[in-house]
Structure 1
Amino acid sequence: MPNIRTLSPNTHLLQSDETLTINKDWFEPDYWKTQNALKGTGNGRGAVWFIHSSLGQFVIRRYRRGGFIAKFNKDRFLYTGLKSTRPWQELSLLEHMRALELPVPRPIAGQVTTGFGFYRSTLMTETIPNAQDLFDILKANRAHTLDWKNIGRVIKRFHDHGIYHSDLNCHNIMIDNANTVWVIDFDKCEHRATDTLWKQDNIDRLKRSLDKESKRHASFDSLDAQWRDFLEGYRG
């Protein structure tokens, strides 16, 4: 479980990697910009920054709300204790999955700032080097270069260990230069008892994301054969 350290009366550090001397500055993109280590930004459920420094390569993600509520509350969540916060839960799940030797990013730390019954928070994980997400690979018309049976086998490993991914899609699966398959973004994910219903829901969600992006991007190959290979790998 992450180690808790209080940085100020309202700010708490949740640290998974005890080898690094982390402080509040680490969660501020402007700090890394002054170190010439801010290498890019990304989109997704939260605001994302990519850090390449002498201390390591990290991804910083600020937790943001989605849907209608985000129109008037972008990043505040009800505070009921540190172990109920999203970074604590995500770091804890990442630590558990790493112990199972599942291919997920190495957890580094999280920061939680509380006030008036709410909290804001940020997560830091290690970058997966030399990797692209499945979406970018497909958009580049390289679906035929992937081992879809292996992708299916990797997803099956997560399911066999009871890992439920709440938003499994083609943006959250990454492939590195060694063709290793990684899964990322475990916000609001959890360990569950084995059940074929949620497993099938995960598979269906991934298929919907592929179909959705195929309709949006003409560069996507037809994925019928690839999806059959994925299912063959998943089913063993």
Structure 2
Amino acid sequence: MPQTIKVSPTVHLLQSDATLPINASWFEPDFWQSQDALSGTGNGRGAVWFINSTFGDFVIRHYRRGGLVAKFNKSTFFYTGIKNTRPWQELNLLETMRALKLPVPRPIGGLVTLVRGFYRSTLITETIPHASDLFDIIKQGKSQDLNWTEIGAVIKRFHEAGIYHSDLNCHNIMIDRDSAVWVIDFDKCEQRPIHVTWQQNNIDRLKRSLDKESERHTSFDFSNAQWRDFMEGYRG
């Protein structure tokens, strides 16, 4: 469970790793840029920055809304208590999964800023070293190098632990240089009672993402045989 530190009446610092001297400035890309530690940016459910610092390599993510709501409210959420905020829940779930020895990023901390009954928030996790997501690997023509059976087996481990991923897709599965499989981005995810319905929905969502990218990109070479290997690994 992340430790909550009240920095001010409107700012709460969430800390999962007590060994690091985390403070509110850690959640601002400008701070890391001033330290010459900002190494890049990316896209996802929120704005993303990559940090390469003396304390370690991290990912900063500002939580943002999706869908139609984002057109008039991009980054504020209704506040009903610190344990109901998105960073607290994601950090807590990451801590749980790490304790279960599941391959997920190490949680570092979060920041929640209250704004008149609403909140804005940011998350920091550790970067998975020397890893690329499934999408990039396939798009580079390296799908044949992937161990699809192992990928399926790893997803099964999450499901056996009751871990529901709300957005399991080919961008949220990563492979490192040792061919180890990782899963990332656990915003709005949870540990829930095991049931075949949500497990199958997770698998179907992943398959749709692979099919969708295959239709979009001619270089995205993904085959039915590879999916069969995935399912073989998943079913054990």
- The Cα of 1:110 is off from its aligned counterpart by 0.2
Greater Cα offset, 162-171 or 2-11: 2-11
- The Cα of 1:9 is off from its aligned counterpart by 1.4
Q: List alignment gaps of at least 5 residues for structure 2.
A: none
Q: What is aligned with 1:187?
A: 187
Q: What SS class does the counterpart of residue 207 from structure 1 fall into?
A: helix
Q: What is aligned with 2:97?
A: 97
Contact 2:38/2:50, CA 8 A, preserved across alignment: yes
Amino acid at match of 1:176: D
Q: What is aligned with 1:106?
A: 106
CA distance in 1, matches of 2:211, 2:221: 11
> Where does 1:59-98 land on structure 2 (aligned, <5 Å)?
59-98=59-98
CA distance in 2, matches of 1:23, 1:196: 42
Q: TM-score, normalization: structure 1? A: 0.99
Aligned-residue sequence identity (percent) comes to: 70
Q: What SS class does the counterpart of residue 197 from structure 1 fall into?
A: helix
Q: What is aligned with 2:8?
A: 8
CA distance in 1, matches of 2:99, 2:76: 31
1:8-47, Cα deviation, whole Å (9 max, x unpaired): 1100001000001111110000010011100000101100
Cα-Cα RMSD: 0.5
Contact 2:165/2:189, CA 8 A, preserved across alignment: yes
Q: What SS class does the counterpart of residue 198 from structure 1 fall into?
A: helix
Amino acid at match of 2:210: L
> Where does 1:1-80 land on structure 2 (aligned, <5 Å)?
1-80=1-80
1:154-177, Cα deviation, whole Å (9 max, x unpaired): 000000000000000000000000
Q: List alignment gaps of at least 5 residues for structure 1.
A: none
Q: What is aligned with 1:218?
A: 218
CA distance in 1, matches of 2:12, 2:45: 22
Q: TM-score, normalization: structure 2? A: 0.99
Q: What is aligned with 1:175?
A: 175
Counting matched residue pairs gives 236
1:74-118, Cα deviation, whole Å (9 max, x unpaired): 000000000000000000000000000000000000000002100
CA distance in 1, matches of 2:223, 2:109: 38
1:122-171, Cα deviation, whole Å (9 max, x unpaired): 00000000000000000001000000000000000000000000000000
Q: What SS class does the counterpart of residue 25 from structure 1 fall into?
A: helix
Amino acid at match of 1:196: V
Amino acid at match of 1:177: R
Amino acid at match of 1:32: W
CA distance in 2, matches of 1:150, 1:222: 16
Change in Cα spacing, 1:227 to 1:82, as seen in structure 2 (3 Å) is same
CA distance in 2, matches of 1:214, 1:167: 18
CA distance in 2, matches of 1:222, 1:75: 35
CA distance in 1, matches of 2:96, 2:232: 27
Q: What is aligned with 2:148?
A: 148
Amino acid at match of 2:87: P
Amino acid at match of 1:208: R
CA distance in 1, matches of 2:231, 2:104: 21
CA distance in 2, matches of 1:125, 1:211: 29
Change in Cα spacing, 1:57 to 1:222, as seen in structure 2 (3 Å) is closer
1:37-77, Cα deviation, whole Å (9 max, x unpaired): 00000101100000000111000000000011101100000
- The Cα of 1:222 is off from its aligned counterpart by 3.6
